[in-house]
Amino acid sequence: MDNLLNNKRVLVTGGAGFIGSALIETLLELGNEVVCLDNFATGKRANLAGFTENSDFRLIEGDIRNPDDCRKAAEGVNLVLHQAALGSVPRSVKDPVTTNDVNGGGFLNMIIAARDAGVKRFVYASSSAVYGDHPALPKHEENTGNPLSPYAVTKKLNELYAKVFGELYGMETIGLRYFNVFGRRQDPEGEYAAVIPRFVKALIEHRSPVIFGDGSQTRDFTYIENVVQANLRAASTTNTEAYNTAFNVACGERVTLNELFSFLRGGLADFDPGIAGINPVYTESRKGDIPHSLASIEKTSQLLGYSTEFNLQQGLAHSVKWYWERLK
């Protein structure tokens, strides 16, 4: 990773999550001080275990729904990487109130705290979910459709608030629309586990993973190191055209869930040949899921200098090895 950012004091909200902890890891390696704000609702203390003895790391156990916690965390920082959120479309369909409280109200609390603390640069996690029912592929940032889930509504709301705060208060806000991020530390447990760790865990345990729908739906899966790079570039850019807008963070290639399953099964079979004979089981599609997703990364490349450092196969190989060593 290029030394895009150093000697800064950076607040990472949701730092105990798998994306947040990857950001903290790299920020510390590059010589920054890091403040982490997390309430451990979905984040894991184990994800922070490697940082707690580092004098440049500070943990604030708090909740973005609490304005006082946000103000405390923002005090004295140079920039904010806002990752804290309740993910999962199905979770938002089941419990839209909590999703809105965290992703909507919590976002507003955090950006207000950053503004009041004099923090100009506010980089935040948006989502490919904002594209909703817009049919065009690949997805270009200027063309979004109607949201298909409460989660998508909250991410669209984040982008609206960020643009308004940039225009009204002179902040430099940059949204990153993540496309199906995966990689080390992504939690395979629970009802709302993401598809890759869920598939991997089932295969390691010699169980048949569940595919919702017929497996023909496509996704642009994005390895965690690409996401870290995008955040660093957004945090350090001096290109004023990049301010107060949103960017796709993806590989710019898509794969069906059936193909994804085959890749994972093949990778794990190298460790355990018995996995090669396992097949998935299929069930009905989930409400709110987008059938197809593919990003254009042209704008992100032009304005932020982003490039795909890890393609899907490279990312899957790293991830399979990581999970095998920890779950077997």
User: pLDDT tens digit string along 1-60?
Assistant: 456 788 899 999 999 999 999 999 999 999 999 999 999 999 999 999 989 999 999 999
Q: By mean pLDDT, which of 18-32, 140-154, 183-197 is the weakest?
A: 183-197
**Residue 273 resides in a domain:** no
Q: E strand or H helix at 194, and its extent? A: none
CA atoms within 13 A on the CB side of 233: 24
What CATH number should be reported for the domain holding residue 107? Answer: 3.40.50.720
Q: What is the pLDDT of residue 2?
A: 56
**Residue 233 resides in a domain:** yes
Q: Which of 151, 223, 243, 306 is catalytic?
A: 151
Q: What is the pLDDT of residue 51?
A: 96
Counting residues of the chain whose pLDDT is more than 70, the rounded percentage is 98
The token pair at 190 is: 């629970």
**Type of residue found at 76:** G
In whole numbers, what is the pLDDT of the chain averaged over residues?
94
State the pLDDT confidence band at 328, using cuts at 50, 70 and 90. confident
**Residue 259 resides in a domain:** no
Q: What is the pLDDT of residue 318?
A: 95
**Residue 212 resides in a domain:** no
Q: What is the pLDDT of residue 181?
A: 95
* Residue 191 predicted with pLDDT over 80: no
Q: What is the pLDDT of residue 71?
A: 98
Q: What is the pLDDT of residue 193?
A: 77
**Residue 284 resides in a domain:** no
**Residue 96 resides in a domain:** yes
Q: How many residues does the chain have?
A: 328
**Helix/strand/coil (H/E/C) assignment for every residue in 225-266:** HHHHHHHHHHHHCCCHHHCCEEEEECCCCCEEHHHHHHHHHH
Per-residue pLDDT tens over the stretch 75-127: 999 999 999 999 888 899 999 999 999 999 999 999 999 999 999 999 999 99
Q: What is the pLDDT of residue 3?
A: 62
Burial 163-202 (b: 16+ CB within 10 A, else e): bebbeeeebbbbbbbbbbbbbbbbbbeeebbbbbbbbbbb
**Residue 117 resides in a domain:** yes
Q: What is the pLDDT of residue 188?
A: 87
Has 151 been annotated as catalytic?
yes
Per-residue pLDDT tens over the stretch 286-322: 877 778 889 999 999 999 999 999 999 999 999 999 9
* Residue 168 predicted with pLDDT over 60: yes
Domain range for 50: 9-181+224-252+295-309
Under 8 Å between Cβ of 199 and 264:
yes
Q: Tell me, yes or no, if the pTM score tops 0.85.
A: yes
What is the total count of domains within the chain? 1
**Residue 322 resides in a domain:** no
* Residue 192 predicted with pLDDT over 80: no
Angstrom distance (rounded) from CA 318 to CA 263:
13
